[in-house]
Amino acid sequence: MERNSRARLIGAVAAIAIAGAVASARASEGTFALLGGAPKIVSQLSATYGAGHVATVRIRQFLGDGTTPILKYDIEMEKLIHLIVVRDDFATFAHVHPSFDPATGTFTQSLTLDPKHRYYVYADTTPHGIGQQVFRFALGAPFFVSHSSSGPSSTSVAVGPYTVSLARTTLPADRTQSLNVTVLKRGRPAPDLTTYLGAAAHAVFINTLTLEYVHVHPTLRGTPATAMGAMNMGATAQAGPLMTMEVPALPDGMYKLWIQFGGAGGAVYTAPFTLRAR
Ligand SMILES: [Cu+2]
């Protein structure tokens, strides 16, 4: 019955008939998208579209048999799921945390979509006993928007009162490397940064051609980095303006990168970059 009340369902027989005709809730199967990982589960998304370009997205995941729903997830970075939603031109980025119904294993999230665009939705979870899994789905307009082959972005981006800088935005491909991340406020190392979801910062990379996904966590310079792909940081994560991140071996290509961090008062800021690996 999911979360709908019985009364609402009975009152909505006509609407169900319409929904059935539109068949908008048919589940689509996600494409495995974690760079360097391997698919161990089946991930499905269904979407219903309402007024105001609002889509209600439901995600269910299953064991490899495709029929046994996964009901138990490990909490990673304070949440059961991280849903990353990126517009097809990579101009918008959202990181949200759907609600979870443990009885059915269904994650539910409302998203407002620009009807002229397609969106890539990444479901980043850690099913208990399985490890991190990331699946990609497409929502919205069915046409493909070709991406201009623009070069890497500037190494500095202003976001709110902060300026976020990377050591470089052109990286050697196919090798792991450390990349310094610096956050300034009024020209000085920002004194008021706060942790966000249990980390100094979160960095999501998406290959603009293959749409492969990587999610790493910058740490304060001079503190030990966590293992690649491990989201468990313990309770000791600290925020600060001088960070470094361990970048995994990126195949040759262009990558969008969004760095999220907490500012004064816990406000969340997102700094977008474009990287070239070659
Ligand atoms: Cu993160």
Q: Is residue 238 part of a domain?
A: yes
Q: Are residues 173 and 103 in the same domain?
A: no
Instruction: Report the domain count for the chain.
Output: 2
φ, ψ for residue 8, nearest 5 deg: -65, -40
Q: For 217-233, what is each residue's pLDDT tens digit?
A: 999 998 765 543 444 44
Least confident of 26-30, 168-172, 218-222, 233-237: 233-237
**Whole-number Å distance between alpha carbons of 56 and 107:** 10
Q: Are residues 168 and 270 in the same domain?
A: yes
Q: Are residues 177 and 271 in the same domain?
A: yes
Q: For 92-139, what is each residue's pLDDT tens digit?
A: 999 999 999 999 999 999 999 998 899 999 999 999 999 999 999 999
The Cβ-side half-sphere exposure at 190, using a 13 Å CA radius, reads 27
pTM: 0.84
Q: Are residues 120 and 168 in the same domain?
A: no
**CATH number for position 171:** 2.60.40.10
pLDDT of residue 140: 84
Q: Which residues pair with 96 in a beta bridge?
A: 83
**Whole-number Å distance between alpha carbons of 69 and 276:** 39
Q: Are residues 188 and 127 in the same domain?
A: no
Give distance in angstroms: CA of 70 to centre of ligand 1: 22
Give distance in angstroms: CA of 26 to centre of ligand 1: 30
Q: Are residues 183 and 73 in the same domain?
A: no
Give distance in angstroms: CA of 202 to centre of ligand 1: 4
Tokens of 1: 């019955």
Give distance in angstroms: CA of 246 to centre of ligand 1: 13
Q: For 176-207, what is each residue's pLDDT tens digit?
A: 999 999 999 999 999 999 999 999 999 999 99
Residue 83 has pLDDT above 70, yes or no: yes
* Sequence-ordered alpha helix ranges (H) in the chain: 6-11, 13-22
Q: Is residue 112 part of a domain?
A: yes
Which pairing describes strands 170-171 and 268-277: parallel, antiparallel, or unpaired? parallel
Domain-terminating residue out of 115, 140, 165? 140
Predicted confidence band of residue 59 (pLDDT cuts 50, 70, 90): very high
**Whole-number Å distance between alpha carbons of 270 and 253:** 22
Domain-terminating residue out of 87, 113, 140? 140
Q: Are residues 11 and 100 in the same domain?
A: yes
Give distance in angstroms: CA of 226 to centre of ligand 1: 12
Residue-number span of the structural domain to which 20 is assigned? 6-140
Helix (H, G, I), strand (E, B) or coil at 135: strand
Give distance in angstroms: CA of 55 to centre of ligand 1: 24
Give distance in angstroms: CA of 174 to centre of ligand 1: 22
